[in-house]
Amino acid sequence: MTVESLSIVEAILSSAVSAGTIYLIASVGECITERAGVINLGLEGIMAMGAITSFLLTLAYGHLVAIIGAALVGAVFGLLHALLSVSLRLNQIVVGLAITWLGLGLSGFMGAPEVARGLLKALNPSVPEYLAELKQAPRLPEMRMEPLSDVPLLGRTLFSQNALVYFGLASALVLWFILFKTRWGLSLRSVGENPALADTAGINIFAIRYLAVIVGSSLAGVAGAYLFIGYQPFWVEDLTRSRGFIALSLVILSSWSPLRAIAASFLFGGVETLQFRIPLRGFGAETPQLVMMLPYIITIVTLILISLASRGRIPAPAALGKPYSREE
Amino acid sequence: MEPMTEGLLQNLSPSPSPIPKIEMRGIVKRFPGVLANDNVDFTIYVGEVHALLGENGAGKTTLMNILYGIYTPDAGVIRINGSPVRLRSPRDAIKLGIGMVHQDFRLIEAHTVTENVFLNFDGLGFIPKWSALESRLEEIAANYGWRLNPRARVGDLSPGEKQQVELLKLLVRGADILLLDEPTSVLTPIETKMLFKTMRRMAEEGKSIVLITHKLSEAMSVSDRVTVMRRGRVVLSKPTREATVEELSTAMVGTQIANSLGQEQAGTRSADSAPVLRVSGLSVIGDEGVLAVRDVDLSVNRGEIVGVAGVSGNGQIELVEAIVGLRKPLRGRIVLNGVDVTGASPRKLMELGLTYIPPEGKKWGIVQELSIYENIALRIARYEPYSRMGVINWRRIMEVSEKVVSEFKVDTASIKARASSLSGGNVQRLILGRELTTSKPSLLVAAYPTKGLDIAATDHVKRILMRLRAENVGVLMLSEDLDEILELSDRIVVMYAGRVVGVVRRSEATPELLGLMMSRGVGAGASP
Ligand SMILES: Nc1ncnc2c1ncn2[C@@H]1O[C@H](COP(=O)(O)OP(=O)(O)OP(=O)(O)O)[C@@H](O)[C@H]1O
Ligand SMILES: [Mg+2]
């Protein structure tokens, strides 16, 4: 390989990782939520809320506060979801979609120039208000992990990224460990498989489902923050562009395992980056829509292939989407 | 009360006097319209296997559910080791050393044996030492002579092994009172033998075991003490060695039941009459994606009962599912009444004269949330006169439902009751009643039709099958009960590893021969 082609590969892989991290953080969280038996179709809206929160808070107080704030906003939306779907046992699909519309609408409103300006002023009066109207915020700085970042290929791909990329990888590893190796994880998975049985075994179904939805939603909030300050720090309406829904399907693709979610997310991040590179080579110049559809087509095809390979027996948590009530 | 005098007699006898472990006194439990337990006294002694017998709906499960803290009794007291206790939930019962294995398994199929056993186990630690736990399970399993891999996924286990997992759950929590609700109804004869060995060993270790069963032979062979319930009351309780089979069956049913069905048996019917079902070269893929049925040839004639024998998991279910249209065959042909129906839908088959009694009626045969008459409507509402131009005639359906319930003796307060309130045996009666009252089949395919039924209901089902045979219907029957197969079948098809390893005429069949074919796959040489 020549030095030049190596650096092209490096560039592609590295942007696969930075695009994939959006999906990684969100789908790792959703793995946890779904393993407890709740499906959160609100990811899209929560990501949008995370993004707008990180925009305003970065301007007001900087990156750290922005990330924590996005997580908290996600948690509040998760609490709302759990309240409706776990306690009131409303249909999870309906609740999730409602949260998506709420999040998309609210974030769009908050991002409108006059509103954003007002919000920024309220958050921190010492910051010049006009910054909000520029719709930009400083990007998260690259954090080189010396000496790992000097390793060829991997160094630039994995170890010369910003802090949230490392956070995404770490949360995948940690949550995988918790899910499959600890007592909590066993209880959580049991709630998603057979809540009635978990209940008689003395497990607090409601506590676990609340926690799982809130953790998953906070991570969706962080994914939104990453999308903005870590990936594309320029505010536009519909910044998320269905990425929440893609994260949802990547959970199936990774068969509900946070570890496999790493592979699925980066793979998908790669496909998405290629979509931007293909037109550069001239192909599809007249029909950009075709190329834009590529990631979605690939998702659908992979889902079909996976379900064929497992003969329709995708190991989804058996109680996924089913509200639990105690009465017999 | 009878148990009291029994206790006194025991004290006078030279054998070591039994120590009461659990005493239930004057237990009353009422459900809407049913008195499930009517002033029941029940005593379990230390180190005994106690058989609890009774017809469907006698109140056995209810009594055990009370002891396990699932139901609270309306009246009565429970004493453990002499002191009164209050059981508000299974958690309370487990703390007092009581464990129950339910009629249906309560396991998480996607999880491993170890994960199932130690789910929410006290003192597990945040990061459990899984390998230590696994070796602990291996130890217990070895103690009882089980071959059980703690790392196996429960969904991949046989019913016998799943039962061992249920027992492990109780054992690791230190249960010394084990309540087993019809544990043998899902087991093969070999697995049953194994379970009985385990139970005897547990009794030797000082544990007390309650075995609910419908089979008198099981009670006689494994128990130390036997109690019979009828219509919510205890009608007999005594040491097994002092009881006779006749006495027990009379106590269960209330009257003597005719023991011989023999006179009605045909078996001599001409075998060359037109086959109603002909299966040739049939191969079917099972859930695991491997061939479950391999190149099977089989026929059922009019007026003939063909029994399919085999250890469970040898392709019987997949074979039947392919015949009734629930599973697409990979290769081969299925011909019903001369029509090629390979791959036809269940509805088409139904209309061509096939009736199917599914296994595990509670799961596959009814919708638990619906009422009895709605369950019946599901089957017939499509046809005249039960509906006209898509509008259901509920009055007709109610009428036929009343008929099903009374003719098949479904024990329920009303046809408007939810199907989930029926006891296990009554569900089976409802399904049979529905299928046979509402259709005139030329072929009946019955998968384990007597599983979980009491003597009277089993007897009833057998009579129905024989009546159908007399009416020139062909019957294909799955059963794990060799005696039943021998009693009813004109021909017996033995399956092993997905293949038909032999077809035996009833006159030539013996339990030994069938057992050998079932366990080793040794053919009898007869051609299909
Ligand atoms: N949860 C319930 N609600 C209403 N009725 C019930 C309920 N559980 C049981 N019953 C009724 O109480 C009676 C006793 O039922 P139980 O399940 O104890 O019988 P069983 O002896 O275990 O019978 P089987 O051998 O068929 O399992 C039956 O008439 C049944 O319909
Ligand atoms: Mg019962």
Q: What is the CATH classification number for the domain harbouring A226?
A: 1.10.3470
Q: Is residue A222 part of a domain?
A: yes
Domains contained in chain B, number: 4
Domain co-membership, B306 together with B423: no
Pair (B376, B496) in one structural domain: no
Nearest CA in chain B to A310: B289
Cα(A12) to ligand 2 centroid in Å equals 64
Within this chain, do residues B281 and B343 fall inside the same structural domain, yes or no?
yes
- Supply angle C-alpha B296, B298, B304, rounded to 5: 155
ipTM: 0.89
The answer to whether residues B317 and B447 belong to one domain is yes
Q: Mind listing the pLDDT tens digit for each residue in A64-88?
A: 999 999 999 999 999 999 999 999 9
Final residue in a domain of this structure, among B222, B253, B284: B253
Residue B214's pLDDT band, with cuts at 50, 70 and 90, is confident
My answer on whether B463 and B430 are in the same domain is no
Does some domain include residue B19? yes
Residue B149: domain span: 107-174
Task: Give the end of a domain, one of B121, B142, B174.
Answer: B174
Distance CA A177, CA B217 (A): 51
- Does residue A315 form part of some domain? no
Mean pLDDT of A157-183: 94
Query: What are the tens digits of pLDDT across the range A278-298?
Result: 655 555 566 677 777 777 787
B19 plus B130 within the same structural domain: no
Does residue A167 sit within a domain?
yes
- The answer on B448 and B435 residing in a single domain is no
| Of B174, B190, B207, the domain-final residue | B174
The predicted-structure confidence for B504-514, as pLDDT tens digits, reads as follows 998 888 888 88
Q: Are A240 and A51 in contact (CB under 8 A)?
A: yes
% of chain B exceeding 70 in pLDDT: 91
Residue B265, both tokens: 């048996």
Burial class (CB in 10 A: 0-12, 13-18, 19+), B439: middle
Q: What is the pLDDT of residue B17?
A: 67
Q: How confident is the model at residue B382 (pLDDT cuts 50, 70, 90)?
A: confident
Query: Is A54 among the domain residues?
Result: yes
Q: Is residue B242 part of a domain?
A: yes
Q: Is the same domain home to B270 and B343?
A: yes
Check residues B220 and A149 and name the one with the higher pLDDT: B220
Query: Would you say A184 and A32 are in contact if contact means Cβ atoms under 8 Å apart?
Result: no
| A324 within domain boundaries | no
Compute the distance between CA of residue A178 and CA of residue A201 in angstroms, rounded to an integer.
20
Q: Please report which confidence band the pLDDT of residue B517 belongs to, taking 50, 70 and 90 as the band edges.
A: confident
B197 plus B56 within the same structural domain = yes
For A293-321, what is each residue's pLDDT tens digit? 777 787 778 778 877 776 555 578 989 99
Answer whether B422 contacts ligand 1 (Cβ < 6 A). yes
Q: A128-137, B263-272, B429-438 — which is least confidently predicted?
A: B263-272
Q: In 3D, which of B153, B527, B493 has the Cα closest to residue B314?
A: B493
Could you tell me if B323 and B333 lie in one domain? Answer: yes
Nearest Cα residue to B368 out of B424, B433, B452: B424
State whether the beta carbon of B61 lies less than 6 angstroms from ligand 1.
Answer: yes
- Residue B206 covered by a domain: yes
Lowest mean pLDDT among B215-229, B457-471, B506-520: B506-520
Domain count, chain A: 1
Confidence of residue B481 (pLDDT cuts 50, 70, 90): confident
Which pLDDT tens digit goes with each residue over B161-205?
Answer: 999 999 999 999 999 999 999 998 777 778 888 899 999 999 999
Nearest CB to A193 within list B111, B118, B130: B111
Contact B110, A315 (CB under 8 A): yes
B128 contact residues in A (CB cutoff 8 A): 182-183, 186
Domain enclosing residue A34, as ranges = 3-309
Q: Per the domain annotation, does A173 fall within a domain?
A: yes
Distance from CA of B420 to the nearest CA of A (A): 10
Look at residue A327 in the predicted model and tell me its pLDDT.
Answer: 58
> Can you give the pTM of this predicted structure?
0.76
Structure tokens at A249: 């399907």
List the structure tokens of B229.
């319930």
Q: Is residue B294 part of a domain?
A: yes
Q: Is B327 in the pocket of ligand 1 (CB under 6 A)?
A: no
CA distances from A288 to A20, A279, A280, A299 (A): 22, 8, 11, 18
- The pLDDT value recorded for residue B458 is 83
Give the span between the Cα atoms of A226 and A70, in whole angstroms. Answer: 10
Q: Does one domain contain both B340 and B306?
A: yes
Residue A239: which residues within 8 A CB-CB, separation 6 or more? A48, A51, A227, A228, A232
Q: Report the 3 state secondary structure along B311-379.
A: CCCCCHHHHHHHHCCCCCEEEEEEEECCEECCCCCHHHHHHCCEEEECCCHHHHCCCCCCEHHHHHHHH
| Interval B275-285: pLDDT, tens | 899 999 999 99
pLDDT for residue B486 is more than 70: yes
Instruction: Give the side-chain half-sphere CA count within 13 A for A134.
Output: 9
d(CA A193, CA A206) in angstroms, rounded, equals: 14
- The pLDDT assigned to B389 comes to 84
> Binning pLDDT at 50, 70 and 90, where does residue A129 land?
confident
Indicate whether B240 pLDDT > 90.
yes
- pLDDT computed for residue B273 by the predictor: 62
Q: pLDDT digit string (tens) for B123-157?
A: 888 999 999 999 999 999 999 989 999 999 998 88
State whether B263 and B340 are in the same domain. Answer: yes
Q: What are the chain B neighbours of A200 within 8 Å (beta carbons)?
A: 90, 106
CATH of the domain at B40: 3.40.50.300
| Ligand 1 neighbourhood includes B36 CB (under 6 angstroms) | yes
The answer to whether residue B4 scores a pLDDT higher than 90 is no
pLDDT of residue A281: 57
pLDDT at A4 over 80: no
Q: Does residue B102 lie within any of the structural domains?
A: no
Range from A172-176, A250-254, B258-262, B470-474 carrying the lowest mean pLDDT: B258-262
3-state secondary structure of B288: coil
